[in-house]
Structure 1
Amino acid sequence: MPKGKIKIIKSRSGVLKGPVFFLLFCSLLFSAATVSAFEAKVRYVIDGDTFILANNKHVRIAGIDTPEIGRDGKPDQYYAQQAKSMLNKLILGKRVRIEYAGKGTDRYKRIIGWVYVDDVFVNKRMIRNGAAFFYFHKGNDRGKQKLLLQAQRKAYDEKKGFWPFIGKLKKYNKPWVGNKNSRRCFLTGDRYAKKISWRNKVKFSNLGEAFYDGYSPARHLNFWPVVK
């Protein structure tokens, strides 16, 4: 074989083998890496965990949840405006780097991402300041989720943001039941709590213990108080 030429080997099935297959494999890996993250400017902040880019794409910050801002005449949840204000200061008008998390988008077609501005990991900063709580998802990066939970424990211990007020609520100080599989928790006696298998069931004397272990209240409970 003349020098400088690469031998292309095909199997009977027609699948490429040897150097060509290796080059194609590397090319695919490179392509995947280039689309796993991007940079864009933030045009508008909707609330503490959602914002809009200059190209009108909506972004939901991965691994966190913040109090909801009231819409259609409904009142804000406690600390919703403070969380929005904090995110505004961090990212509004700035160019951010977004790494896709989990499946990349949710059912509302929003981008789900790990967000960075300069050297600040926004997801972690929101939790660390007590403006958001950790929200576990199976498909999300384990290392990043571990960082978020550690940030939550520090915010909780230091009584940052909403934690002092939330800790005084009546429901907060009742027994809760967690699901090891989903990392959601329920008030004892809730219909969904009764459906958790004994293998996945974990008991907490209060919601603080659940938060500390990385569990979050099931949404249907409407646990978070509103501003009257």
Structure 2
Amino acid sequence: MPKGKVRIIKSRSGVLKGPVLFFVLCCLLFSAVTASAFEGKVRYVIDGDTFILANNKRVRIAGIDTPEIGRDGKADQYYAQNSKALLNKLILGKRVRIEYAGKGKDRYKRIIGWIYLDDVFVNEEMIRKGAAFFYFHKGNDKGKQKRLLQAQRKAYNEKKGFWPVVSKLKKFNKPWVGNKNSRRCFLPNDKYAKKINWKNKVNFSNLGEAFYDGYSPARHLNFWPVVK
């Protein structure tokens, strides 16, 4: 065979065999992995779960939710500034690795991702410090979601961050109704609670039980206290 020529090995059916097939599969696997993750420098932190990269792309941290910072004259929710400050300290001005989560982007065109700073899993760290709570999504990685839930249970038991104040709220200690399908929970008299199919309905004596099982309050309930 002349030098510089590469012989492609095929079977009679035209399918690649042996080392050549292995090489092709490795290339495809490598391409898939690299396409699902990238690195970027954090230019600005919007709040506890959202930031902007140097290329102006917005990133929403997957699997968590944090108290909302007040805008347009509205008050901050309790612990919103603390959550933002923690994320600032963790990632501002640093290069992070972002792995796409779920569909990769949300309806606002933000990148949804698992965030890593060296060996720190940022999504988990925010929950571990009691600055965020676990927010389930069907399309997200099951292993990572399980890890976030475990971090939440530990933070709740150890009364980290916002948990000591939030767990004393009147609404927190009332019964709640969960939807097994969405992993959202509602107050019993809420219109959406009444629409839950009995097969998907689960009752909690308080919101702590719901959080422990990986449920989170439906956002329209405005459960979180505000800073006056």
Q: Shorter-chain TM-score: what band?
A: over 0.9
Query: Which TM-score applies when normalising by structure 2?
Result: 0.92
- For 1:71, what is the secondary structure of its paired residue? coil
| Structural mapping, 1:18-167, within 5 Å | 18-19=16-17, 24-167=24-167
- For 2:81, what is the secondary structure of its paired residue? helix
Which amino acid in the other structure matches residue 17 of structure 1?
Answer: V
Q: C-alpha separation between the residues in 2 aligned to 1:66 and 1:126? A: 9
Which amino acid in the other structure matches residue 216 of structure 2?
Answer: S
Extract unaligned runs of 5+ from structure 2.
1-5
Q: C-alpha separation between the residues in 2 aligned to 1:130 and 1:107? A: 27
- For 1:152, what is the secondary structure of its paired residue? helix
User: What is residue 225 of structure 2 aligned with on the other side?
Assistant: 225
Please, what is the CA RMSD of the aligned residues? 2.0
Q: C-alpha separation between the residues in 2 aligned to 1:100 and 1:183? A: 22
CA separation of 1:10 and 1:54: change in aligned 2, threshold 3 A: farther
Extract unaligned runs of 5+ from structure 1.
none
What are the Cα deviations for residues 153-181 of structure 1, in whole angstroms up to 9, with x where unaligned?
A: 01000111111111111111111000111
1:141 positional shift: 0.7
Query: Which TM-score applies when normalising by structure 1?
Result: 0.92
1:23 positional shift: 5.5
CA separation of 1:42 and 1:192: change in aligned 2, threshold 3 A: same
Instruction: Indicate yes or no: 2:192 matched with 1:192.
Output: yes
Which amino acid in the other structure matches residue 89 of structure 2?
Answer: K
- For 1:67, what is the secondary structure of its paired residue? coil
1:28 positional shift: 2.9
1:24 positional shift: 4.8
Aligned length: 224
Which amino acid in the other structure matches residue 7 of structure 2?
Answer: K
1:10 positional shift: 8.1
1:214 positional shift: 0.4
1:7 positional shift: 4.2
User: What is residue 177 of structure 1 aligned with on the other side?
Assistant: 177
Q: C-alpha separation between the residues in 2 aligned to 1:48 and 1:178? A: 25
Paired-residue identity, %:
81
- For 2:45, what is the secondary structure of its paired residue? strand
